[in-house]
């Protein structure tokens, strides 16, 4: 019986043992702590097609890194060659070892140090083919490592302007990772040089080294190269569970759990959150889209840092609250982490308001009904709209033109939709608003609810339980009125550009209706960033930290794009965005309903 033992494998064995014990401990702990409902979801879905589709996603994302390819092909290649290349080295290496190392028991490390333990089979023909494939794979990974070195020196070449600042554990693991494959190359080359054979890479380098150093020196050094390889592997494995590299394994269970329907929740930190948090590789793709970074120079709050701080229990309230929640990073996250939800439940964890507190605090709102009108279509202007009389007037004009009978929820003052409270983590207080408004909507038996504010829209859609009530933003409503021929608009030669408000676009997925409406009235010119990648106006209610001058810098980025696209007017569909952009724009900024009202036939 051959155990394929040599002293140098000890570090490797220790590393692997530590790695798998910690990873296993974490996963078992997280899974057992899942709430009953989540466990039920897993049990219900595990033997369905969802598992297959999860496997597919694991291959596409965890191994091939398809989403990163979309960010930048070089960056994609770097991640793919490291992940997929290493994966293939393990798989092909195992087969190679299984084929050539005869014996009833093959310890797992045998294939890792295959060249050391089985240097003699190289002379067979099939052996040469295996050698070639393994050398090729090693080269594939080494190119990835070289790119990673290059990225350190010049990240812009890979489409990343600013890369992540690392923790100490990250640095150690990273250094070890960068050494693993060069060390493997060195070890395999030395052994090949000493014993002859091997393929184009390790074989050639081995022969070259023999010529250079002489055979005797090679024999003397060779064992130490294996020690080096084993040691860097061990260092990487030991630090992996404590560093960003925990994502290598964690992304896989995350994909499965997500397919089974597990979600993070706004108001409660759940065990599932761990899978999301530790699946973050801190690749830093979230940093560049963040306008707090690009406009205001704030560089410690981005999602990668937020998740890092939360993971290591170092999260501060100020980092948690310093986020526009515009969602620009979330659409780019290659792991698909639900960043905004995690941010929300962290905010909630800093808030101590109980349901009783909220009931007590807002008791003066019980039974308040300042609404007017009797229609089945309800109009909820929202507080920011109430401060924008042009929008109110325009909506009135449109309602009159469409002969719509309207019930005005808040014309004489109303109750907040709850979204601002929710965004600040005051979920219980928000729920109070939600309950009060829901009762009001039910009392007046509306069938459609139109709002002019995307912030209200999002909370109506996501948190209100309004059975049978259709919820529309006014851009959707107006688009429908035009399509159904209930209002007619005339088209002019004016050019308009459209700003997608965060809560309407990325937040609620409404991109096309406002564009349809604008195209019916004039010519639409897109700004450089539009739809999913649209810029934030900077005045987002979600950011509880930044100062006005910082908001202004963010808005200025939008003002600059407006200038570049040379449109007569900038259209938006959020009263808050309108206010925010108005102060930096060189031209006119209008709400979509204003131009509709002005072009009614």
Among 350, 583, 598, 599, binds another protein (CB under 8 A): 583
342 to 381: interface string for another protein, x by CB under 8 A: ----------------------------------------
Among residue numbers 78 through 107, which ones bind another protein (CB under 8 A)? none
Question: CA angle at residue 181 from 175 to 187, to 5 degrees?
Answer: 115
Residues touching another protein, count (CB under 8 A): 12
Copy the structure tokens of residue 44: 């219900």
> Of how many residues is the chain composed?
601
Q: CA 21, 24, 27, 32 torsion: positive or negative?
A: negative
d(CA 550, CA 544): 12
Q: Which of 455, 577, 547, 567 is nearest to 508 (CA)?
A: 455
DSSP letter at 62 equals: I
**CB of 175: closest distance to another protein in angstroms?**
46
Q: Is 397 in the site for another protein (CB under 8 A)?
A: no
d(CA 339, CA 330): 6
**CB of 75: closest distance to another protein in angstroms?**
39
Q: Which of 261, 220, 196, 249 is nearest to 22 (CA)?
A: 249
Q: Which stretch binds another protein (CB under 8 A): 149-157, 262-270, 383-391, 489-497?
A: 383-391
Among residue numbers 530 through 559, which ones bind another protein (CB under 8 A)? 548-549, 552
Among 374, 393, 519, 586, binds another protein (CB under 8 A): 393
**CB of 389: closest distance to another protein in angstroms?**
5
Q: Is 586 in the site for another protein (CB under 8 A)?
A: no
Among 386, 431, 437, 557, binds another protein (CB under 8 A): 386
d(CA 150, CA 144): 10
Q: Which stretch binds another protein (CB under 8 A): 147-155, 168-176, 464-472, 575-583?
A: 575-583
Please give the sequence-ordered ranges of beta strands (E in DSSP) within 388-511, or none if there are none.
Answer: 406-408, 448-451, 470-473, 495-498
Helix axes 575-582, 548-565, angle to 10 degrees: 90
CB 70 within 8 A of CB 76: yes
**CB of 580: closest distance to another protein in angstroms?**
9
Among residue numbers 231 through 260, which ones bind another protein (CB under 8 A)? none
- CB under 8 Å to 327, separation ≥6 — which residues? 339, 340, 502, 506, 507
**CB of 513: closest distance to another protein in angstroms?**
24
Copy the structure tokens of residue 79: 């991640």
CB 185 within 8 A of CB 85: no
Among 297, 367, 389, 485, binds another protein (CB under 8 A): 389
d(CA 65, CA 47): 26
CB closer to another protein, 388 vs 513: 388
CB closer to another protein, 361 vs 579: 579
Q: Which stretch binds another protein (CB under 8 A): 321-329, 388-396, 447-455, 480-488?
A: 388-396
d(CA 227, CA 215): 19
CB closer to another protein, 207 vs 582: 582
> Which phi and psi (to 5°) does residue 373 adopt?
90, 170
CB closer to another protein, 221 vs 541: 541
CB closer to another protein, 484 vs 549: 549
**CB of 495: closest distance to another protein in angstroms?**
22
Chain contacts with another protein (rule: CB under 8 A): 386-390, 393, 548-549, 552, 579, 582-583
């Amino acid at each position: 019986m051959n155990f394929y033992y040599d002293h140098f494998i000890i570090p490797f064995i220790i590393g692997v043992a530590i790695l798998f014990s910690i990873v296993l401990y974490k996963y078992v702990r997280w899974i057992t702590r899942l709430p009953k409902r989540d466990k039920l979801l897993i049990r219900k879905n595990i033997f369905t097609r969802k598992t297959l589709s999860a496997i597919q996603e694991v291959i596409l994302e965890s191994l091939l890194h398809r989403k990163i390819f979309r960010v930048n092909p070089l960056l994609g290649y770097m991640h793919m060659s490291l992940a997929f290349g290493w994966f293939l080295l393990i798989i092909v290496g195992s087969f190679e070892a299984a084929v050539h190392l005869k014996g009833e028991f093959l310890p797992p490390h045998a294939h890792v140090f295959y060249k050391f333990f089985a240097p003699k089979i190289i002379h067979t023909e099939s052996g040469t083919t295996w050698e070639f494939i393994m050398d090729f794979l090693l080269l594939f990974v080494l190119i990835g490592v070289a790119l990673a070195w290059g990225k350190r020196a010049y990240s812009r070449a890979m489409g990343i302007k600013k890369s992540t600042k690392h923790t100490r554990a990250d640095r150690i693991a990273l250094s070890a990772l960068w050494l693993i494959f060069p060390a493997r190359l060195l070890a395999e080359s030395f052994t090949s040089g000493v014993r002859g054979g091997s393929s184009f890479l390790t074989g050639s380098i081995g022969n070259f080294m023999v010529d250079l150093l002489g055979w005797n020196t090679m024999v003397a050094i060779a064992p130490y190269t294996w020690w080096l390889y084993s040691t860097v592997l061990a260092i990487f494995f030991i630090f992996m569970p404590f560093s960003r590299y925990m994502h290598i394994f964690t992304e896989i269970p995350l994909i499965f759990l997500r397919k089974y329907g597990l979600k993070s929740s706004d108001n409660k930190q759940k065990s599932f959150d761990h899978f999301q948090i530790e699946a973050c590789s801190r690749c830093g793709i979230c940093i560049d889209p963040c306008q707090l970074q690009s406009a205001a120079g704030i560089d410690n709050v981005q999602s990668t840092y937020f998740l890092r701080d939360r993971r290591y229990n170092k999260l501060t309230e100020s980092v948690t609250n310093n986020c526009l929640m515009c969602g620009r990073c979330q659409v780019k996250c290659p792991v698909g982490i639900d960043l905004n939800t995690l941010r929300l439940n962290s905010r909630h964890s800093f808030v101590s308001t109980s349901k009783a507190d909220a009931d007590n605090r807002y008791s003066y709102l019980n039974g308040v009904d300042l609404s007017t009108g009797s229609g089945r279509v309800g109009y909820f202007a929202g507080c920011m709209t109430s401060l924008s009389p042009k929008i109110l007037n325009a909506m009135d004009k449109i309602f009159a033109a469409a002969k719509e009978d309207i019930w005005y929820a808040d014309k004489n003052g109303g109750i907040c939709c709850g979204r601002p409270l929710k965004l600040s983590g005051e979920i219980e207080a928000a729920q109070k608003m939600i309950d009060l408004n829901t009762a009001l909507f039910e009392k007046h038996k509306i069938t459609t609810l139109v709002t002019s504010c995307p912030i209200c829209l999002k909370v109506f859609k996501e948190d209100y339980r309004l059975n049978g009530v259709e919820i529309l933003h006014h851009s959707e409503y107006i688009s429908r009125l035009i399509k159904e021929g209930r209002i007619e608009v005339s088209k002019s030669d004016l050019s308009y550009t459209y700003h997608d408000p965060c809560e309407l676009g990325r937040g609620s997925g409404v991109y096309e209706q406002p564009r349809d409406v604008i195209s019916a009235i004039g010519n639409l010119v897109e700004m450089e960033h539009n739809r999913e990648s649209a810029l934030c106006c900077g005045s987002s209610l979600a950011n509880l930290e930044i100062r006005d001058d910082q908001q202004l810098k963010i808005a200025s980025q939008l003002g600059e794009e407006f200038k570049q696209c040379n449109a007569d007017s900038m259209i938006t569909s959020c009263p808050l965005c309108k206010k925010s952009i108005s102060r930096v724009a060189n031209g006119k900024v209008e709400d979509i309903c204003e131009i509709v009202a002005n072009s009614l036939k």
